[in-house]
Amino acid sequence: MLKKIKVSKFVKNIKDFIEVFSWCVKLSWKVSHLYTILRVSAELLNPLLNIAAVFVSRQIINYISASIGNFNTRYIYNLLFLMALIALLKVIMIKVQIYSRIVHSEQLDQWMTRNMIEFSFDVDLAYLDNPNYQDKITSAMRDGSILVQALGSSISAISAIMSFLIAFVILSNENIIYALIMTMAALPSGIALRYYTESLYGLSLGQISNRRKLSYIQQIAFNRDFSQDVRLFQSSKILKDSYDNLWGKLFSQRKKILKNRSRITLILDFLPEVVLVIISGHIIFNIVNGKLVIGDYIFLSGLLGQLWHSTSSFISSSMEIVENKLRMNNYKSLFKYTNKIEDNGILELKIVDSITFKNVSFVYPLSEKYALKDISFHIKNSEHVAFVGLNGSGKSTIIKLLLRFYEPTSGEILINGINISSYTITSLRRNFSVYFQDMNNFAFTIKENFHLTNPDVLINDEDIIEALEKSDFIEILNLNEAGLDAYISKFFTPNGLILSGGQTQKLALARVLYRKDTILILDEVSSNLDPRAEHEIFNKLEDITENRLTLFISHRLSNLSLADRVIVLEDGNVIEDGKPEQLLKDNKRYAELFRYQQKKYMVEGEA
């Protein structure tokens, strides 16, 4: 039974080797035909040149030994010239090998990273809230760079096989016992290495969640967004201690395996050395007895060394290839995450005349609580509608569903009387200019920020300045010499702009207004603005939103002066819907919220 298990595992290892090897070679060829050919050619020629060098050395020594005082100088010169030519070719091949490996590896690394970037940009938003996905993307990014090395191992395995076959055939012709003993002596170390490599990789997968915690603490240390909090609350010691404790725990687990690996492989790596010494002694004994000549010692020692190193190299490369089966599967499994938001629509949305929610309910992934419960409403063109409610009432969720960041759990959403899934996602989203509550500006230039906001439109400085004027950011622009080429933050340059919360919000709003789409959505658009800036922006928004369907989301009811309709949400339900003045007369939840804030402003005014 045990024998059957060992055979089964051996067969599996062979299959794994073939699968990973073929995947690596195909990937290498896909990324660059030229560098694949160069690397493989160099790897194949190197063992041939090594054997040739040993063979020529043997000829020189044997000829000198047999012709002391009476040898053909021209013949020796020819052999030396051949030796120099082989050495030159070896140097050229080594340089070609190094150059092609570095360039090709960079191309491969870029290709794999680019693949993951593209995938991450297109993946459903729901996955980004999933810790399992975060673990997967983190391990895939790590494994992607290691798989580049695995491709190098695949190419090295080709060289090792060629080197082994040549050395084994030639050595077997001289003495097959030498060849078999040397090969067998090199095997145990490789087998032990495979075992510990598998153990280390299994451990690394188990540690990935804690590794992400370490990375997050690093981000806190390096990220300006956390700098004030950490200094004010003096949190650095807690964070440093957490980092040290977590790192120490992970390190001790790895250290234990590494220690055992070093102890075992030390003994097993010494075995081929012992065998080489014994065989060398036997060769010397045969030379003394006249069965071999001095040149044979050089030749056979070279073959033994090449056989040993090629066997070790092949085992090491093949073990690394087999071990990378796990990494390959892990990397490939990332791309098995399929989007639930399917872009199967064929209609192009040109303009939005109406929005309808019909009995829409929604539960966020990995949650059991309903964010929206059977809500229904109809919004007509040119309406200014405000969604009002406490935190967690479902206001922002409505926007996310409307943009198809998520799909409703039940019910349907219609635009112009047609289910939004019938439109292409690109044309659907192109109709919305949205200011998100947590909207971020990019750490690039001001102009690049606008280009990223509307990449389908040719960048126009006049349109950018017009948008900046509407959001009241223009005065900040005029204060810096770089103008639209000024960087946001000092992430890339010491001359970058450091914006306040209000200034950041103004720039983000300008980017939204730059799009000039059919529908404008403003989610807490003035949360960081001072009263004066808030007043001025809403005066400008009055003109901007005229005859334009606009959706407002705000906790501050004073910002709803532009709304001609209010929808009140509570715990995922629509509890009120009507004109602001009518809702005040109804004296229900909206009126209650209004009085809370009215009282607050009156108290502040009296103070």
The domain that contains 293 carries what CATH number?
1.20.1560.10
Mean pLDDT of the region 169-186: 85
pLDDT: which is higher, 371 or 186: 371
Res 604 pLDDT > 60: no
By three-state DSSP, how is residue 357 classified? strand
Which residue reads 């409505």 in tokens?
398
Residue 283 belongs to some domain of the structure: yes
The answer to whether 340 touches 124, Cβ cutoff 8 Å, is yes
Write out the two tokens for 495.
Answer: 């001359």
Query: Looking at beta carbons, which pairs linking 571-576 to residues 24 or more positions away fall under 8 Å?
Result: 571/373, 571/392, 571/393, 571/394, 572/361, 572/370, 572/371, 572/372, 572/373, 572/375, 572/393, 572/394, 573/373, 573/374, 573/375, 574/375, 574/376, 574/377
Report residue 117's pLDDT band, with 50, 70 and 90 as the boundaries. confident
Res 369 pLDDT > 60: yes
Predicted pLDDT of residue 14: 75
Q: Where are the alpha helices (DSSP H) in 335-424?
A: 395-402
Residue 10 belongs to some domain of the structure: no
The answer to whether 379 touches 543, Cβ cutoff 8 Å, is no
Predicted pLDDT of residue 385: 94
How distant, in Å, are the alpha carbons of 345, 537, 572 from that of 359?
A: 22, 35, 12
Residue 530 belongs to some domain of the structure: no
Which structural domain, as residue segments, surrounds residue 399?
A: 345-431+520-525+549-607
Res 606 pLDDT > 50: no
Q: Which amino acid is at 548?
A: R
**Same domain membership, residue 172 and residue 67:** yes
**Same domain membership, residue 442 and residue 426:** no
Report residue 128's pLDDT band, with 50, 70 and 90 as the boundaries. confident
Q: Could you give the percent of the chain with pLDDT greater than 90?
A: 20
- Min mean pLDDT across 440-454, 481-495, 589-603 is at 589-603
The answer to whether 502 touches 530, Cβ cutoff 8 Å, is yes
Query: Looking at beta carbons, which pairs linking 263-270 to residues 24 or more positions away fall under 8 Å?
Result: 264/192, 264/196, 265/189, 265/192, 265/193, 265/196, 268/188, 268/189, 268/192, 269/189
360 forms beta bridges with 375
Residue 5 belongs to some domain of the structure: no
**Same domain membership, residue 160 and residue 123:** yes
Res 544 pLDDT > 90: no
Mean pLDDT of the region 514-538: 81
Distance separating alpha carbons of residues 261 and 265, to the nearest angstrom: 6
**Same domain membership, residue 128 and residue 56:** yes
Highest mean pLDDT among 198-202, 315-319, 390-394: 390-394
Predicted pLDDT of residue 378: 96
**Same domain membership, residue 196 and residue 105:** yes
Our count of domains for the chain comes to 3
**Same domain membership, residue 128 and residue 218:** yes
**Same domain membership, residue 267 and residue 295:** yes
Residue 360 belongs to some domain of the structure: yes
Distance separating alpha carbons of residues 541 and 518, to the nearest angstrom: 15
**Same domain membership, residue 127 and residue 233:** yes
Mean pLDDT of the region 118-128: 85
**Same domain membership, residue 135 and residue 102:** yes
Report residue 419's pLDDT band, with 50, 70 and 90 as the boundaries. very high
Distance separating alpha carbons of residues 527 and 437, to the nearest angstrom: 9
CA atoms within 13 A on the CB side of 298: 17
Predicted pLDDT of residue 188: 82
Residue 383 belongs to some domain of the structure: yes
Listed residue (393, 317, 400, 417) closest to 576, CA to CA: 393
Res 601 pLDDT > 70: no
Express each pLDDT in 464-477 by its tens digit. 999 988 888 887 87
- State which of 299, 334, 369 marks the end of a domain: 334
Mean pLDDT of the region 414-429: 94
- Min mean pLDDT across 69-83, 85-99, 376-390, 439-453 is at 69-83
Q: What is the CATH number of the domain that holds 458?
A: 3.40.50.300
Report residue 364's pLDDT band, with 50, 70 and 90 as the boundaries. very high
Predicted pLDDT of residue 607: 44
Q: How far apart are the first and last CA of the chain?
A: 88
**Same domain membership, residue 68 and residue 180:** yes
Q: What mean pLDDT is reported for the chain?
A: 84
**Same domain membership, residue 421 and residue 404:** yes
Residue 370 CB contacts under 8 Å (≥ 6 apart), including other chains: 361, 362, 363, 409, 572
Residue 219 belongs to some domain of the structure: yes
Write out the two tokens for 46.
Answer: 């190197």
Report residue 602's pLDDT band, with 50, 70 and 90 as the boundaries. low
CA atoms within 13 A on the CB side of 20: 31
CA atoms within 13 A on the CB side of 392: 3
Predicted pLDDT of residue 2: 45
- State which of 289, 304, 334 marks the end of a domain: 334
Residue 198 belongs to some domain of the structure: yes
pTM value is 0.74
Express each pLDDT in 204-263 by its tens digit. 878 888 888 888 888 788 766 676 667 756 778 888 888 899 999 998 988 898 888 888
Report residue 300's pLDDT band, with 50, 70 and 90 as the boundaries. confident
